[in-house]
Structure 1
Amino acid sequence: MSGHHHIHWPRVLGGAANAFAWPVEVGRATEPALRELLARFQARVSRFEPDSDTSRLNDAGGRPIDVGTELRETLAASRWAAELTGGIVDGLVATSLHRAGYAAGGHPPRIDVRTVARPADRLAQPAASTRPSLTVSGDIACVPAGERYDPGGVGKGLIADRALALLRDAGATSALVELSGDLVGFAEEHPWPVSVDPYDDGEPLAEIDLHEGAVATSAITRRAWIDGDGALQHHLRCPRSGEPVFGPWVAVTALAPTCLEAETRSKWAYLTADTAPLVHGGYTTGWDGGITAIGGIPA
């Protein structure tokens, strides 16, 4: 990434954003617009911003409200993810996250899952068909009373794709956007070196040469904690029960043409303990730290 123009933004949906663009003059010229895009999505979509459209939607008690373009796009992405996965990837899991303490103040101190015993398997089931769903009509959106919406990884993937499109349209010939470890990019010549590092400890388990497309990881290695009853908690939840999901892996990495799709497929595979969603390839990381390549890509 040396030689590329680097743009850093400290917070977008709970994590930092970084963008790299070549030629340098294109990155410099596009930086104000990119920063404005990231700031808009953070201010209007993050559930951790008290005045965001998402927070207003969640606090509306089931009443329809006007929402802006950024949240409408994010809600549409969430509905697309739910349709693709048969309801497994569901934006209304914020209801259970909120109850578990993963709210505006974050969550209790993170625990290293390598220090705890593997819990009994508990896989995801689609939300009950009788549960009211998100509705969007024009500028109006509604979350059912008693439920809460979380843009989550789907929102991050959408924002990363929007940011990359901005750089491509501005004339970049090589660009990469990274949000909280998930990446999307393209390169006309030298590919981007991407590390698969689900523990975020600087010791990657695999390396990928990214020419075009996205890499996203859904993992319990970065957002796990022990609750007041001594149980392991994390943010990847079953939409039917609201409980954290446990299976054979602590992380799933998916490759896909877009970051939105990579985010959706990695979460889908983790929640169902099934590699079938990894149609573009990927990796699974087991409780023992071992990594397995899916779809013929190198480990």
Structure 2
Amino acid sequence: MADAALVLTGSPSLAPLLARGALLSPFKRPAPDAEFPRTRLVLPGLRVDLARLAAYERVCGFPTGDDALPPTYPHVLGFPLAMRLMSGRDFPLPLLGLVHTSITITRHRTMPATGTYELTMYVEGLAPHRRGTQATVVTEVREGGDVVWDSRSTYLARHRTRRPAEAPREEVRKPLPAVAEWRLAEDVGRRYAAASGDRNPIHLHPLTARLFGFPRAIAHGMWTVARCLAAHGTPDSCHVRAQFRAPVLLPGTVTYTAEDGRFELRGRQDRIHLTGDVYST
């Protein structure tokens, strides 16, 4: 748990944070036993920009005009705080190349789009991973003093490890039935970036994506989760788990599969891009 709280007067500007993170990345030395920031960032009095919310709902497939936030939208609200934490000198993992590997979300009740919220974010800890070092970042959203939404995201910095662990054994499950085939346009990454603020160059254009080893731009992982949840539907009080397994190239075609609260996003040759589940709490 983080030690002290730093109360912010407004949401941080993303551009200088992304620039700082990029400049500091070559000097980071990731390791599971490295020191990490212990400060909790707190942003009170947070209001939702309804125009940006509507743009987010459109690109992700949620219905527009409802006075309720989609279950993934608080992650967007917390993104500037995450960037402030992870772009700092005291965060040991390099921002460039950092991979979002999983997210768990608990929504305790419906969150009105017109509400006023307090957002808290902190680094819970570091852990060894077979491909490097993984950080867990916690986000909490409060309304009237009560936690109404929280999440845990894991981010992986890939590097050589002294004792590479064996690949985890995965539970063999029967394939889920196909529900829909989605043809994804080349501009999905740019549209989601405009709505969410996440303008990582790997999502914006083939030329910038190639600088990081991708043949084309790739979809945001959080867009894939949001799109699946928009199709699946979520109870007012729910728990969501999702693992990002492989990037989705843009443009492209994927198959959404779902059954009994489980969902997956599959590509060519049945390649799994995303697995997840959602259930009522």
Same fold at TM > 0.5? no
TM (normalized to structure 1)?
Answer: 0.30
Structure number with the higher strand fraction is 2
